[in-house]
């Protein structure tokens, strides 16, 4: 029994690291990072002071966390409900496994394309331009109105940033959900979980917002949005390979179970 407990503990540790790594990779993927950079650029160009930027940044980050938790709960409940039926569970395993495998291949294709062109904008897995435009509009509208009014207190700026962050998260999930869905399917396949699925969701999303929080902290230290773009461009290939490896691992697990 003691040896069995040790084995279970080691597998749980692996599961924790796998979920945290998935959230972190999702947070630094080009879809999420581009939105972060745009948000920082907008705050700077709109003339926000440090106090206002802090309020907007914390509120925006909190909104992203809350929105993704809610999205994750919805996906989890749907998959668990479908999993109550044997044939549906098997079909979902195959479908999500194929989806993960397909995304892994696309990430490899993006990596090879980037090596050839050195242009991250030519990625196959990117937000559609129409969604990008809606995200920029969601970020800009309320915050721009607050800034132009000049009389609105910090808490109203924070409220506008929270609303923008929530809407942006829903729109951005078109891209970031590519990692989220296979991760939740993976969590459902963890045998004899001693850690609840809710904790895994929180862990994933805490890891997801770490890059967002770091960007805001670095912006206060004077790092420009151009520098963030260069960092993203420089590590684009590594992120693509790591994400591909993650998708292939999830696909293998889902196919085997």
Per residue in 137-173, pLDDT (tens digit) is 777 665 665 555 554 567 777 888 888 888 888 888 8
Q: What is the pTM of this model?
A: 0.78
Nearest to 180 by CA among 29, 38, 72: 72
DSSP 29: S
Reported as a pLDDT band with limits 50, 70 and 90, residue 206 is very high
More confidently predicted of 93 and 89: 93
Measured between alpha carbons, how far is 84 from 88 in angstroms, rounded to an integer?
A: 8
The answer, yes or no, to whether residue 91 has pLDDT greater than 60, is yes
The first and second tokens of residue 71, run together, are 């999205």
* pLDDT averaged over every residue in the chain: 78
The sign one gets for the Cα dihedral 116, 119, 122, 126 is positive
Q: Where are the beta strands (DSSP E) in 111-224?
A: none
> By CB neighbour count within 10 A (0-12 exposed, 13-18 middle, 19+ buried), where does 134 fall?
middle
DSSP 120: G
Measured between alpha carbons, how far is 83 from 188 in angstroms, rounded to an integer?
A: 9
Measured between alpha carbons, how far is 31 from 176 in angstroms, rounded to an integer?
A: 7
Reported as a pLDDT band with limits 50, 70 and 90, residue 41 is confident
Helical pair 197-220 and 50-83, crossing angle rounded to 10 deg: 160
């Amino acid at each position: 029994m003691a040896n069995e407990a040790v084995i279970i503990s080691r597998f749980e540790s692996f599961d924790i690291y796998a979920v945290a790594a998935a959230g972190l990779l999702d947070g630094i993927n080009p879809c999420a990072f581009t939105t972060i950079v745009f948000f920082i650029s907008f705050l700077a160009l709109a003339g926000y002071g440090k106090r206002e930027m802090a309020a907007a940044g914390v509120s925006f980050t909190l909104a992203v966390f809350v929105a993704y938790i809610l999205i994750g709960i919805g996906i989890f409940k749907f998959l668990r409900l479908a999993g109550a039926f044997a044939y549906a569970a098997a079909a979902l395993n195959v479908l999500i496994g194929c989806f993960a495998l397909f995304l892994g291949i696309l990430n490899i294709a993006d990596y090879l394309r980037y090596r050839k062109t050195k242009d991250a904008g030519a990625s196959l897995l990117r937000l559609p331009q129409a969604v990008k435009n809606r995200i920029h509009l969601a970020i800009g509208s309320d915050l721009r109105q607050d800034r132009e009014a000049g009389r609105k207190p910090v808490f109203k700026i924070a409220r506008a940033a929270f609303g923008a962050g929530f809407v942006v998260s829903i729109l951005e999930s078109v891209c970031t959900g590519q990692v989220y869905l296979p991760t939740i399917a993976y969590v459902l396949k963890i045998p004899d979980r001693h850690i609840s699925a809710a904790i895994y969701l929180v862990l994933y999303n805490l890891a997801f917002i770490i890059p967002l929080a770091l960007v805001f902290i670095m912006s206060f230290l004077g790092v420009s949005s151009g520098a963030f773009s260069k960092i993203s461009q420089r590590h684009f290939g590594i992120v693509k390979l790591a994400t591909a490896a993650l998708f292939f691992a999830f696909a293998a697990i889902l196919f085997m179970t």
